[in-house]
Chain A
Amino acid sequence: MSTTLALARREITGLFYSPIGYIVLAIYLLFVGLLFSLLVLQPGAIADPGPMFQWNHLILIFVVPFMTMSLFSEEYRSGRIETLRTSPITDFQLLMGKFLGAMGFYCVVIASSLIFILILSLFGRPDYMTVLTSYLGLLLMGMLMVSIGLFFSACTQHQILAAMSSCVTLVALGILFQAISYFLGSALGVSWAWLRTLRHVLRYLAIEPHMVNFSRGILDSQNIVFFLTGAGLFLFLTYVVLESRKWR
């Protein structure tokens, strides 16, 4: 456990030492600020930060890949993977260390948006329990996003390639699937059974429908299971990739 934490701590400090960490933080704050001022902080509106959380993933799908791109890629490229893998740590500890490290930084990033809750509380009284469930939703969503980023980082020694692949995957989950399912539902107007099934599958795989409940203060096991199984799947795949690299 302590080795895992040592690895995680190094990842977090590594991100704070590099400009990437601060750029990620700044961009996130800028766009959450936009969401906040356009959707939440309106004259006469109720003090509900919900929309800010409901659409938060639209920012994070472009931000998280830059947090995770270097996790393994940079170790491969620099050759440090050799010092890591010849240390007495298991692949699982290595994986968990990297994952927890990135999650730690992710938590710092999403916690920075607390400033907007503070601003809101100056003008009204938001429902703090809803804020809490929203952050829980962001945390679970982060686990999925970070594990996807981790997976692509483990696949290649090129950071940019890792960032782009995870970005494409996250855009599919965050925007594309939902758009296609919306298009299939309204524009076509036909009702073939397989089309309806496809629509449902795509809608289930999309992020936004799962986030919306959290942002309204609803804890639905379906949403929690979605994020956890997704994260578990990609962590498992990353583990497989790590194991397989040994044999090449």
Chain B
Amino acid sequence: MTHLLSIADLNRADIEQLHQLTDTFVEVSRRSIPKVPALRGKNVVWLFYEDSTRTRLSFEQAAKRLSADTMTFSVSSSSVKKGESLRDTVLTIEAMGVDAIVVRHGSAGVPWQIARWLEDRVHIINAGDGWHEHPTQALLDSYTIRSERGSLEGMHIGIVGDVKHSRVARSDVLAYTALGAQVTLVAPPTLLPPSLAGWPVTVSHDLDAVLPSLDVVGILRMQQERMTENLVPSLREYTSLYGLTLRRVDTMRDDALIMHPGPVNRGVEISAEVADLPRSKIVDQVRNGVATRMAVLYLLLGQGVDKILDPGVPEEAPDGEHSDVSVTDSESSVGVTG
């Protein structure tokens, strides 16, 4: 794996490997000194063409805990104001010598375009491209459910709200279904994409009918900044039909989880009291986000997977040290550890 552009590029085993790696970094984050030297000397650039608080801070925290160096490129204070093109900006950043670019952009496909321009010399991580995908959010959402319930296999997960404008919904659907869950989208017809052909989901317009059967309900933010046309009559009407209120929570199963990718519009898609319930995992999602992004950065920049998937790796390392091997007897271990 050179880049993380889309959940669609990952199979179930890849996602599960990232989740296992995330376990390790959750433990690292709990240490009294929550920092490891794994990515010393690596340089990561944040290329954010769109506003972001939690994703950028979360990536920043993840990189620092891995001892990587970071640079921030924000559009408002850059030569983009002077008319520099995206391609020139990216080539300039590459020439400074970076190992990874974490990109968020308002247009779908930009991370792919950058990867092509740089001919895969730099690792590209998609931190959200338009309405298209937000893969690290899907990894942390599925990790959060896995750490609460052990597995997503056979679960019924509802994604409620503004699916049309939501890159989180697209990535979540791919991750949840890859891990064996069944997904139902719940939204008014105007907030669904024009075509759902090929999506492995069922669709409902009635939240109250779906809610009692859900193991997890994922609430999406009403993206008012992307609403250029009147897709809902009013926010109050949306809240009365699709807002998660205490009354609706009472109809849910006792062990059902509530998730929200943030930022939360309290009182719109979720009521203030519901957001603070113990079964609401919003804060855990943020915490797991840091560990998830550590796993992604480590996997790409530590050059783990590439060589692991490559059967041509020499059995004896260049320094003749520590070649891991295994035996069929689960009780024994082959010790060539340094």
Answer whether A and B are interacting partners: no
B contacts, CB < 8 Å to A: none
